[in-house]
Amino acid sequence: MDILTQCLLDLLHGLEGKGFPLILCGGFGLYLKQVRRQEQGFGHHPLLPGDLWPRPRTTEEIDILVRTEILADAERFSRLRQVLDDLTYRPVPGAEYMQFIRRLDSGGWVKVDLLTGPVPDALGDKVTVRNRRVRPAGRSVGLHAHRADEAIGFQTNLQAISIEGYCTDGRPCQGVVFIPPAVTFLMMKLFAFNDRHRDEQKDFARHHAMDLYRVVAMLSYDEFQRTRAVISAHWQDEILQEASQMIADYFATPTSLGLIRMQEHDLFEPDMDTREFSRALTDLFAEP
């Protein structure tokens, strides 16, 4: 965890003043969201009491959601590639330009994964989309983002979280990262679960199912209503229809596969409220 935070601070330091806000999703973004909620106490009255939340967890990855207007601006987007190169990140074979890995002197490693959400029509001619890769149109900057159409709402209602500590070279550093709203996490985790639920190695599916529970458990009443409103606004989109069907298939009943995978997770505790989780998730994605 300390190494991951140090590498995040390295990125924040390198991008300072370069007009490139870091929006974190994935396990690390969700970890920061939960830790901040716990630090603030439970005055926001979460859907499930804090003692029914799983322990915070993360991975060795920093998943970055890139704003679409940055993707459409080759000069701004290229600033991230320069910072990655300066920090000795190297492309991951098979995922060149979208995933980068950094080997640390300590023997550990950290991976950066670049993603983006749906491309607005207004910016469609300013980016090139090919095989789910998105890059600036007309100029190669050695950097792409993986298009995740399910990442709806990731550019709005962002939560700013201050990070401070030490960079990997020992210098003190501080900065701000942004965490997308609950609807983005729910959609991305649903589709990740759908991609992984039949794998022979089912740990990924278990992690995604538990993270869905985590996101729902932390919702306040106001967040629940805002999330429901975003889903209703996008209801006619095919991606929402797919998500709704996934919930019906995997999370609607006590014997659904998603709830089984969640209960197989190492962090599952018998007093976790799977019934309320299932009900809330089904209500969120119910037809308006």
Domain ranges of the chain: 2-179, 182-284
Nearest Cα to Cα of residue 12 among 171, 134, 154: 171
This prediction has a pTM of 0.94
Torsion of CA 22, 23, 28, 32, to 10 degrees: 90
**Cβ atoms of residues 73 and 19 within 8 Å:** no
Judge residue 15's burial from the number of C-beta atoms within 10 Å of its C-beta, 0-12 exposed, 13-18 middle, 19 or more buried: middle
pLDDT per residue, tens digit, the chain (288 aa), is 689 999 999 999 999 999 899 999 999 999 999 999 998 876 678 999 999 999 999 888 999 999 999 999 999 999 999 999 999 999 999 898 999 999 988 788 999 999 999 988 888 889 999 888 999 998 889 999 999 999 999 999 999 999 999 999 999 999 999 999 999 999 999 999 999 877 656 678 999 999 999 999 999 999 999 999 999 999 999 999 999 999 999 999 999 999 999 999 999 999 999 999 999 999 999 999
